Amino acid sequence: MADMINVALPKGRLGDTVYELFERAGFECPSIREKNRKLVFENPEAGVRYFWVKPSDVAIYVERGAADIGVAGKDILMEAKTDVYELLDLNVGKCRMAVAGPKGFCYDRDNELRVATKFVNVAREFYASSGTDIDIIHLNGSIELAPILGLSDVIVDLVETGTTLKENNLEIIEVIAQISARLISNKSSFKFKTKQIETITRRLEEVIEG
């Protein structure tokens, strides 16, 4: 169906919350709730086709037009700098992007600051703005381990409840950005499917505000 809107949803806990918003906005697709390992689900009556995508890949699917719209964390949008429109803050998946380090950590400016992170571009940009020389250590997870083992001085990572930091004797040094899930759109889809995309955006907005 030519006018179907293809929606990339982030697989996992955030995706379930986000799908619920779409459902409440009138774009339900009951088959998505069935326990199976399918990745594509559609409801032609509602005009939507959903894909479960790895959260960090959503913006790529949308940028390249494999999906018309999608939901991605602001952290991923900041890091990947994909060329998409950001249409709406969905107000879910809220956390902070922050610099954290061992309690009482004091930076000695004579040495390069060693920063462990998944978000290398965000970290580079953040420290460039204050003219701080850094040595980036690119990790893929369990970032909190790095300062504990002396692999890095600090980390740039997401903090949700703060429990991981607390239980590893680390603390926030500085908050870089407030993060939440955003509705994004492919630029040419927005031009050619304006009406449908605007309708979805408006109805989601009503659900969030309601």
Residue from 36, 129, 130, 161 touching ligand PRP (CB under 6 A): that is 161
CB closer to ligand PRP out of 24 and 96: 96
Question: Distance (Å, rounded) from C-alpha 63 to C-alpha 77?
Answer: 11
| Pairing mode, strands 134-138 and 113-117 | parallel
Question: Distance (Å, rounded) from C-alpha 106 to C-alpha 87?
Answer: 40
CB closer to ligand PRP out of 95 and 204: 95
Considering only residues 10 through 39, tell me which ones interact with ligand PRP, judged by CB under 6 A: none
Q: Is 159 in the site for ligand PRP (CB under 6 A)?
A: yes
DSSP string, 150-168: TS-SEEEEEESSSHHHHHT
Q: Is 164 in the site for ligand PRP (CB under 6 A)?
A: yes
Question: Distance (Å, rounded) from C-alpha 137 to C-alpha 199?
Answer: 43
Q: In one letter, which amino acid is 206?
A: E
Angle ∠(133,135,136) on CA atoms, nearest 5 = 125
CB closer to ligand PRP out of 111 and 178: 178
Q: Is 162 in the site for ligand PRP (CB under 6 A)?
A: yes
Tokens of residue 194, six digits: 């304006």
- The 113-142 site mask, x for binding ligand PRP (CB under 6 A), equals ----------------------------xx
Q: Which residue is nearest to ligand PRP (CB)?
A: 141
* Site residues (vs ligand PRP, CB under 6 A): 141-144, 157-164
